[in-house]
């Protein structure tokens, strides 16, 4: 009988290459899950698309299969009280308000086809002031420039625009719309963490901004989803069919915000870093947005109560991909997880510094003409030194971003929570703690993105009552890496890194 009285919350984790559904208990433990990879479409160099219906069907399959596994271990689907969504951000889907049918494939956040649109927008009056309102600079990254490209290049989109039937949505909006049954229910909503990635939302009001819409030329011409809180038991409707028909969709967060929530970084000065192919750092700055002076992005972290919580965001282009470079290009090891063992064969980097600027350097440096450069090679240098220098490169860049975040926000960082593949390396996490001189916390349960969406939904349906109740969940068994080197040593190491960064400039200009 005890199994029947427990309450659970489901979490859709809709990513760039796969969809997943996880079912969490009150203790933050995943008890059942299912994952489906879906098709990546690359029509031209630099273009990246998804089939909107395949996104939905992959999610529906994951829900049904995870519920089967859940019931197979003795639970009842009726004990799942709500569903949350974490989704890939900036990816856009356009559809017809009357038919509910997509007008084109989804254009993915990584897609760079709108470069010409961006150049044109930058020449418009007022372009330099946009970031003060929406927190994002003009680039191919936000959803806005993708929309303008589609209006110009896709006839079906232009026709829907002319006919007054064009609906704009990010992946969260599309999923909620379809899971509710499409045009019949016509649930058109988004949350502030996703809306803040479009360039259409005012960061302070959490509403679409007339000046922004006028700048992009889309005011009163497009159906935009209503912006509602990230945690809400009614606004997102209910699942219309399948294993969880009738269950409320009760929460929604963009994936990087979901990871911040999943790490329980609820106080200003807390941050998370996801060490994937690249790195995404989000830093909680509290109840007022901070517009960066150091090349970082301002975004909404989450909106659970009366006031939203904001974050600064920085990205590193090369993290796990640096390890893949050693594996695939230089044949240093057969499996990427062997980098830890190889780097541990030496006590330090042997004087090597590897600036992994394979495509320039991102925040906070923004050096486009940098190239990957290894300094300090001598006859003493071994593979282990280069492997260690590769891991250190990500840690140095993380320190540089966190320093910029601290300057921008005025909040001293108190702890860095970590997830993602490279966080499995004890050596890397120890190096990170040493360089930033604060503890690095790695939870036992690494499904932080999915758990963040579960928290958003669980708060709305009463699985948890407040954030304080959540702070201690999933803290048992985690690993804390405490800094072990002196302040003088730390400064010497970082000064050498900064010197190397300065010296790697200019390699991309052909001279």
Token pair for residue 51? 């089939």
What are 33-38's contacts with CB under 8 Å, separation 24+?
Answer: 33/66, 33/69, 34/61, 34/62, 34/63, 34/65, 34/66, 34/69, 35/62, 36/61, 36/62
291 CB-contact burial (10 Å; exposed 0-12 / middle 13-18 / buried 19+): middle
Q: Are 371 and 504 in contact (CB under 8 A)?
A: yes
For residue 119, pLDDT over 60 is answered with yes
328, 372: one domain:
yes
In a domain, residue 462? The reply is no
Residue 466 confidence (pLDDT): 87
Residue 403 near residue 395, CB atoms below 8 Å: no
Three-class HEC string of 13-59: EECCCEEEEEEECCCCCEEEEEEEECCCECCCCCCCEECHHHHHHHH
Evaluate if residue 510 carries a pLDDT over 60: no
Helix, strand or coil, per DSSP, at residue 158: helix
In which band, very low, low, confident or very high, does the pLDDT at 145 lie, cut at 50, 70 and 90? very high
- Render pLDDT for 162-197 as a digit per residue (tens, 0 to 9): 999 999 999 999 999 999 999 999 999 999 999 999
Least confident of 184-188, 344-348, 365-369, 467-471: 365-369
In this prediction, residue 278 has a pLDDT band, given cuts at 50, 70 and 90, of confident
Question: Are residues 192 and 58 both part of a single domain?
Answer: yes
Q: Does the residue 112 lie in any domain?
A: yes
Residues whose CB falls within 8 Å of the CB of residue 306, separated by 6 or more in sequence, listed in order: none
Indicate the pLDDT class of residue 475, thresholds 50, 70 and 90: low
Among 233, 254, 275, the domain-final residue is 254
Provide the pLDDT for residue 474: 66
Q: Count how many Cα atoms sit within 13 Å of the Cα of residue 267 in the half-sphere of its side chain.
A: 11
CB of 15 closer than 8 Å to CB of 55: no
**Spatial distance between the Cα atoms of 133 and 146, rounded to a whole number of angstroms:** 19
pLDDT digits (tens, 9 = 90+) for 380-436: 999 999 999 999 999 999 999 999 988 888 877 888 999 888 898 999 999 999 999
Quote the CA–CA distance of 389 and 293 in Å, as a whole number: 29
Q: Tell me what pLDDT residue 4 has.
A: 46
For residue 511, the model assigns a pLDDT of: 47
In a domain, 459, yes or no: no
Q: Tell me the mean pLDDT in the region 148-160.
A: 95
Residue position matching structure tokens 């503890």:
439
Please check whether residues 210 and 322 belong to one and the same domain.
no
Q: Please tell me the pTM assigned to this model.
A: 0.88
Domain boundary among 206, 229, 254: 254
The pLDDT tens digits of the residues spanning 240-275 come to 999 999 999 999 999 999 999 999 989 888 889 988
Across 340-348, average pLDDT = 93
Please give the pLDDT value at position 478: 86
Statement: residue 3 has pLDDT above 50: no
Report pLDDT digits (tens) over 26-64: 999 999 999 998 988 898 878 889 999 999 999 999 999
Show Cβ contacts of residue 360 under 8 Å, excluding neighbours closer than 6 positions.
317, 366, 367, 368, 369, 370, 508
Range of the domain at 436: 264-442+478-511
> Bigger pLDDT: 269 or 19?
19
8 A C-beta contact, residue 311 and residue 284: yes
pLDDT of 106 over the 70 cut: yes
- State what percent of residues in the chain have pLDDT above 90: 70
The reported pLDDT for the residue numbered 2 is 40
- Within a domain: residue 422? yes
Residue 319 CB coordination number (10 Å)? 30
**CA pair distance 177, 171, nearest whole angstrom:** 10
Q: What tens digit of pLDDT does each residue of 70-90 get?
A: 999 999 999 999 999 999 999
Residues 228 and 341 in one domain: no
* 245 and 294, same domain (yes or no): no
Token pair 């590193």 in the structure block, residue:
316
Judge if 410 and 487 occupy the same domain: yes
Residues 206 and 168 grouped into a single domain? yes
Residue 16's CATH number: 3.30.420.40
Give the angle 260-264-267 at the CA atoms, nearest 5°.
90
From 254, 284, 315, the end of a domain falls on 254
Give me the phi and psi of 398, to 5 degrees please.
Answer: -60, -45
Residues 384 and 285 in one domain: yes
CB 321 within 8 A of CB 296: no
Q: Does some domain include residue 236?
A: yes
| Separation between Cα atoms, residue 204 and residue 350, nearest integer Å | 49
Q: Kindly state whether residue 427 falls inside one of the protein's structural domains.
A: yes
**Max CA-CA distance within the chain?**
74
Kindly state whether residues 247 and 184 are assigned to the same domain: yes
- The count of domains in the chain is 2
Which among 267, 309, 316 has a CA at the least distance from the CA of 295?
316
Q: What percent of the chain has pLDDT over 70?
A: 98
Tell me: do 243 and 317 sit in the same domain: no
User: 1 pLDDT exceeds 50?
Assistant: no
Q: What are residue 360's phi and psi, to 5 degrees?
A: 80, 180
Same domain for 270 and 378? yes
Same domain for 288 and 250, yes or no, is no
What is the pLDDT, as a whole number, of residue 304? Answer: 94
More confident residue, 18 or 85: 85
Average model confidence (pLDDT) across the chain: 91
Query: Helix, strand or coil for residue 255?
Result: helix
**Structural domain contains residue 460:** no
275 belongs to a structural domain:
yes
Tokens of 349: 């980097």
């Amino acid at each position: 009988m005890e199994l029947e009285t427990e309450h659970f919350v489901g979490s859709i984790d809709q990513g760039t290459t796969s969809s997943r559904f996880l079912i969490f208990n009150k203790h933050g433990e995943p008890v059942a899950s299912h994952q489906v990879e879906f098709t990546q479409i690359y029509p031209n160099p630099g273009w990246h698309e998804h089939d909107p219906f395949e996104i939905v069907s992959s999610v529906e399959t994951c829900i049904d299969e995870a519920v089967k596994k859940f019931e197979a271990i003795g639970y009842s689907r009726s004990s799942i009280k709500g569903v949350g969504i974490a989704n890939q951000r900036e990816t856009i889907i356009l559809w017809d308000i009357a038919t509910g049918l997509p007008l084109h494939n989804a254009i993915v956040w990584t897609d760079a086809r709108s470069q010409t649109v961006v150049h044109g927008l930058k020449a418009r009056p007022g372009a330099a002031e946009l970031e003060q309102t929406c927190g994002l600079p003009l680039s191919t990254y936000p959803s806005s420039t993708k929309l303008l490209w589609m209006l110009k290049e896709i006839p079906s989109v232009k026709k829907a625009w002319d006919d007054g039937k064009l609906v704009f949505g990010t992946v969260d909006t599309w999923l909620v719309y379809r899971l509710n049954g499409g045009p019949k229910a016509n649930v058109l909503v988004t949350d502030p963490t996703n809306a803040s990635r479009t360039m259409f939302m005012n960061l302070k009001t959490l509403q679409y901004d007339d000046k922004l819409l006028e700048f992009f030329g889309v005011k009163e011409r497009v159906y935009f989803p209503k912006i509602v809180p990230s945690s809400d038991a009614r606004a997102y409707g209910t699942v219309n069919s399948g294993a969880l028909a009738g269950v409320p969709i009760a929460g929604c967060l963009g994936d990087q915000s979901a990871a911040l929530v999943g790490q329980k970084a609820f106080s200003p000065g807390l941050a998370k870093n996801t060490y994937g192919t690249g790195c995404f750092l989000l830093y909680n700055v509290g109840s007022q947005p901070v517009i960066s002076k150091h090349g970082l992005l301002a975004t909404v972290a989450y909106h659970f109560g009366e006031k939203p919580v904001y974050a600064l965001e920085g990205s590193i282009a090369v993290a796990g991909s640096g390890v893949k470079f050693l594996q695939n290009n230089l044949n240093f090891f057969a499996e990427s997880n062997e980098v830890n063992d190889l780097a541990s064969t030496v006590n330090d980097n042997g004087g090597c510094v590897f600036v992994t600027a394979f495509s320039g350097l991102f925040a906070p440096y923004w050096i486009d003409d940098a190239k990957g450069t290894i300094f300090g090679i001598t006859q003493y240098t071994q593979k282990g030194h280069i492997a260690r220098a590769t891991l250190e490169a990500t840690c140095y860049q993380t320190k540089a971003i966190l320093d910029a975040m601290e300057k921008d926000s005025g909040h001293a960082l108190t702890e860095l929570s970590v997830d993602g593949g490279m966080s499995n390396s004890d050596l890397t996490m120890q190096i990170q703690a040493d360089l930033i001189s604060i503890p690095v916390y790695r939870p036992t349960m690494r499904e932080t993105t999915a758990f963040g969406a579960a928290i958003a939904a669980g708060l709305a349906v009463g699985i948890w009552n407040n954030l304080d109740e959540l702070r201690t969940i999933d803290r048992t068994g985690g690993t804390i890496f405490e800094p072990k080197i002196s302040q003088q040593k730390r400064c010497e190491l970082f000064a050498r890194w900064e010197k190397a960064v300065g010296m790697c400039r200019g390699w991309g200009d052909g001279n």
